[in-house]
Amino acid sequence: MRAVLIDIDGVLTVSWRALPGTVAALREIRAAGLGVALVTNTTSRTRASIAATLAAAGFAVTAEDVLTAPAVTAAHLAAHFPDARCALLNSGDVREDLAGVRLVGMDADPDVVVVGGAGPEFGYAALDRVFGQLQRGARLVAMHRNLFWRTDRGLQLDTGAFLLGLERAARIEAVVTGKPSPAFFAAALARLGVGADRALMVGDDVEADVLAAQRAGITGVLVRTGKYLPETLAAAGGAPDHVLDSFAGLPALLGPRG
């Protein structure tokens, strides 16, 4: 292996607090000379904000190490919908990572509706407005379709639960730009300059993190932290290449380097 792709929430941290042993494990991986990309569907913070928060928690990272769903979404919109009027439904301000995207208000008549992370903004009025925009021909782009995520208060509902309803009601299918999109993993590999066969992906979501990475040719490692549930693993559409109790065990899995 030459590089490691690492999910953040539920793998390195929960509610942005470092999980036991993860700071030391990441330090050991870097010391072994492996490339590192922190790949996250987090849509509530910018890359710079994420890096600063992780650094405050003890992780030696910079914004250049972080690849977010909003950043990949911006690249997708630039490539496929240049100059489109885009309405954003998202909890958190990530406009810094959407540079170049022509954002308009939710009350406008957009060409594209972009759905980010769920929060208080996902009320009936907002969702019904999006439903109307989709009926009038707007395209639907979703940064991810995660059903839930783990915080220090337990599992909480996420965008996927609302996205399923919008797709069913409007009879369309969203383009998903974050994990498990193959384009997301391709962007991470390109940033690291490695092929899929020399990279490893560590995540707590068996479908979106691990099996999606394996379909892209990347070795998958599931950790039993974050949103991991035994019943979710049992019902998954495949088997992870490896399963660890936590990210702290990754250096031992990789073995001696040098």
- The reply to whether 231 and 246 lie within a common domain is yes
Where is 3: in which H helix or E strand?
strand 3-6
Q: What's the domain range around 110? A: 82-176
pTM beyond 0.85: no
The answer to whether 39 and 12 have CB atoms below 8 angstroms apart is no
Neighbours of 27 (CB within 10 A): 14
- The reply to whether 205 and 232 lie within a common domain is yes
Does any domain span residue 50? no
- The reply to whether 102 and 166 lie within a common domain is yes
Q: Digits of tens for pLDDT over the chain (258 positions)?
A: 999 999 999 999 998 999 999 999 999 999 999 999 999 988 889 999 999 999 999 999 999 999 999 999 999 999 999 999 999 999 988 998 998 999 999 888 999 999 999 999 999 999 999 999 999 999 999 999 988 877 778 888 899 999 999 999 999 999 999 999 998 999 999 999 999 999 999 999 999 999 999 999 999 999 999 999 999 999 999 999 999 999 999 999 998 765
The rounded distance, in Å, linking the Cα atoms of 53 and 17 is 9
CATH number for the domain spanning 93: value is 3.40.50.1000
- The reply to whether 154 and 215 lie within a common domain is no
Q: What per-residue confidence (pLDDT) applies to 151?
A: 77
The answer to whether 51 and 65 have CB atoms below 8 angstroms apart is yes
> Which residues, in sequence order, are bridge partners of residue 222?
203, 243
